Structure 1
Amino acid sequence: MAQQTICETAPSAADGGSDLIAWAHRMQDECPVGRDAQGVWNVVRAAEAQRVLSEPSSFSSDPSHAFPAAGRFRGNMLWLDPPEHRKLRTIVSRVFVPKAVSALEPEIRKVAAGLLDAAGGADEIELVSQFTQPLPVIVIAELLGIPSLDLAQFKAWADRMLGAVVLDPLANEDARREIAMGTMEMNAYLLEHVRRRRAAPREDLLSRLVATQVGGDRLDDQEVVNFSRVLLEAGHVTTTMMLSNAIWCFEEDPGLAARLRADRSLLPSAIEELLRYRPPVLMVLRYTRTDVELADTRIPAGSVVKVWIVAANRDPRQFDRPDVFDLGRHPNGHLAFGKGIHYCLGSQLARLEGELGLNLLFDRFPDLRITPGADLEFYPQNFFGMKRLPVTVSRSGR
């Protein structure tokens, strides 16, 4: 007989994740699938997490299954199920082919170098605001073809939406209102540019999204707008958190940075382990279409399910010594980019930005450490990373 279990509510990640990871390990043993005091169902083991992410027929990405008033989300692949999702992803995948992403390397290098140049010769840098956060925003904006004069506005929208999501829109009406307002402003801006590309195509992603068709299907204006906005919202979070988390891991284990500086060929493996060890997104949401049984537990239809990526990535049933950062870990079946039909389309771009960003930091700064006594503030929920990261550096050539 399937059971319904009430489980301990997940703690904040404001301490850097220690309490959350300890909670995850307790729940993996005591309550691998259970409902918390807020009525949300938590999934913390790798096997169950993989099943939830791989079964859209049972575990939907569409919030309207739990929140009928939410409406539909045309063009937002994060919130779509088949067959709508399949159509959109098939078209967009034509644009995100590996060759096209690899071709962005010179531009990413230029943007990253320009951000560090702008920091001047200071011995202390606030790495989040000066490097890790603007890097992916500028890259995505330039990829879409956003005019350079509008980059400041584009970055402001990205910062605003990130701040609202951290407030937890499920429980916070102010966060929902802020997201709605930011979405309207960004949509209006992007729609103007989409219409311009239909009239006069250019060599940019917006033009390719407008023009690409598969089997006679094209994206309409609203689908292009929504996908472009989601690319900004979701795309910059991964790189921002990944780069700042890398510095945190180097602080925990200085020998790790030394090994990577000495042998840059280890960087791809380091990035995969970093994504497992401190995944940028702590959890993802799914919504049950019908009553579902998972790990001998019955989850009713219309329930909100939190799949804890950070917990699944630390599951000792899936990973040997899960709380150890292991450069040689292979295979590394982490879920930082999801699984199944919603596996992150921008994963290659995020990996490329991470590798190029770390290489440049190593090249510019023979020594880079978190400033002693710095007031570090971590995101309390949804994301695994820091709001600010003051670092003290020494520079090449001094």
Structure 2
Amino acid sequence: MKPFSLRDWSDEDLRNPFPVFARYLAAGPVHFADGTCYVFGHDAAVEVLTSPAFGRRSPSGGGSPVSMPSALRTLVENWLVFLDPPRHTELRSVLNREFSPSVVTNLRPRIAAIAAELLADLPATFDLVERFAAPLPILVISELLGVPRADWEWLREMAVDLQQASSVRAAANPDAHAVADRAARELTSYFLALAEKRGAEPGDDLVSLMVSAQTRGEPLTSDEIVGTCVHLMTAGHETTTNVLSKSVLALSSRPAALAELRCGVTAAAVEELVRFDPPVQAVGRWAHEDAVVAGFPLPAGTKVMVLLGAANRDPARFPTGGRNTGFGLGIHYCLGATLARAELEIGLGLLLPALGEFTVDSVKFPHDIVFHGPHSVVVTRAN
């Protein structure tokens, strides 16, 4: 078996990576290649994601975005997902108070209204990603942040450009960091201006709540407000888009499950769809101290990649007894998980009846196994 890599996947394997994951998992819960420990087993994944022995940056500074252009580096360094304690703990505490479940509850009627509008007057044949899966989360996040709806298309373009900096995409495009840096500059200017406006004219949106927390003396810098806005926008829109699209693909070959969910999408169904095919297939960690995972010693400074898709289908733990890692675990559990669940429950609940009987005509995946989801799903509805 050749050493595992996150790069150079075939189109067939990108569309369905789980047979690849299963082969490596059958050979062992962890594999080593190019100085990286790849974790496939469920129990080992849970251990890495929840243990304080592992963090987002190595003790020597590895894993920090120091090699990125300046604007992109400043932006990404203030994303909650790239911080370790104690700063992570402080910022997460502030954001948990401001981004409360009640904020999402109050947003549910708008999610339903946006989804219904996107599904109105569907043509017989259309691209599910372009028509519904991509615009729904960016419009919802625009509502959450208090961004004018007219800017959603521009924001999605900027979000897509910013994601070019991910390691897999950057490896395939020599201009990736330059493209992402331009997007970072524009987004930073945009959200600094929005925060300044909300300071003078507060509303009931998340930007206003964060600016209000800052003026009350909470330890929240302007760079962190901007970083949080952009992180929610980029990570939140792409991951939800991926789950929406991949859920339709999964259900298209499972008519019994599709018929059941057309009658109502439950919270349990959303959880299972995320587990079955996560929107992010791999997340990185670094060993902050000497550790042992699945019986293998990992010296401090070891880079670790946790294969969430593999862990979520580990036959030793599923279909019963395992923990869904699709939203992460531990201190880096997804800040926007409650919002994502609401979007998926409401969005799929309206989408599946609107689709009726349908066929999938074509599917195209970008060459990225980490942020995993199709950029085009053309479907035809039966008349």
Equivalent residue number for residue 161 of structure 2: 160
2:169 match: secondary structure = coil
1:384 match: secondary structure = coil
CA gap of 1:169–1:302, structure 2 versus 1, over 3 A, is farther
CA gap of 1:9–1:238, structure 2 versus 1, over 3 A, is closer
Conserved? CA contact 2:286–2:304, under 8 Å: yes
Stretches of structure 2 lacking an aligned partner (at least 5 in a row): 68-72
The reply on whether 1:27 has 2:24 as its aligned counterpart is: yes
1:212 match: secondary structure = helix
1:298 match: secondary structure = strand
CA gap of 1:67–1:281, structure 2 versus 1, over 3 A, is closer
Shift of 1:299: 2.6
Q: For 2:88, which of 73, 85, 88 is the aligned residue? A: 85
Conserved? CA contact 2:57–2:63, under 8 Å: no
CA gap of 1:332–1:50, structure 2 versus 1, over 3 A, is closer
1:191 match: secondary structure = helix
Q: Deviations over 1:31-68 (max 9, x none)?
A: 422321x4322011111111111123x21113673246
The reply on whether 1:95 has 2:98 as its aligned counterpart is: yes
The reply on whether 1:387 has 2:382 as its aligned counterpart is: no
Segment drifting more, 177-186 vs 63-72: 63-72
2:98 match: secondary structure = coil
Conserved? CA contact 1:137–1:158, under 8 Å: no
Partner Cα separation in structure 1 for residue 25 and residue 122 of structure 2: 48
Equivalent residue number for residue 282 of structure 2: 283
1:92 match: secondary structure = helix
1:392 match: secondary structure = strand
Question: After TM superposition, where is structure 1 displaced by more than 4 Å over at least 4 residues in a row?
Answer: 16-19, 70-74, 170-173, 213-216
Q: For 2:48, which of 42, 49, 52 is the aligned residue? A: 52
Task: Give the length in aligned residue pairs.
Answer: 374
1:317 match: secondary structure = coil
The reply on whether 1:218 has 2:219 as its aligned counterpart is: yes
Shift of 1:217: 2.4
1:390 maps to amino acid:
V
Partner Cα separation in structure 1 for residue 210 and residue 247 of structure 2: 33
Partner Cα separation in structure 1 for residue 186 and residue 347 of structure 2: 30
Conserved? CA contact 1:194–1:207, under 8 Å: yes
Q: Deviations over 1:149-206 (max 9, x none)?
A: 3222112112223455374347865333332332222112111111222233222110
2:109 match: secondary structure = helix
Partner Cα separation in structure 2 for residue 134 and residue 152 of structure 1: 8
CA gap of 1:76–1:194, structure 2 versus 1, over 3 A, is same
2:188 maps to amino acid:
N
Equivalent residue number for residue 325 of structure 1: none
Shift of 1:281: 0.6
Shift of 1:375: 4.9
The reply on whether 1:337 has 2:327 as its aligned counterpart is: yes
1:333 maps to amino acid:
R
Could you tell me the TM-score, scaled by structure 1's length?
0.85
Partner Cα separation in structure 2 for residue 305 and residue 166 of structure 1: 14
The reply on whether 1:66 has 2:62 as its aligned counterpart is: yes
Conserved? CA contact 2:274–2:326, under 8 Å: yes
2:166 match: secondary structure = helix
Shift of 1:271: 1.3
Equivalent residue number for residue 3 of structure 1: none
Conserved? CA contact 1:166–1:380, under 8 Å: no
Stretches of structure 1 lacking an aligned partner (at least 5 in a row): 1-5, 321-329
Equivalent residue number for residue 246 of structure 2: 245
Q: For 1:40, which of 36, 41, 64 is the aligned residue? A: 36
Shift of 1:358: 1.2
1:26 maps to amino acid:
R
Partner Cα separation in structure 2 for residue 164 and residue 15 of structure 1: 24
Q: Deviations over 1:274-301 (max 9, x none)?
A: 1111111101111222343322323333
2:198 match: secondary structure = helix
CA gap of 1:65–1:297, structure 2 versus 1, over 3 A, is farther
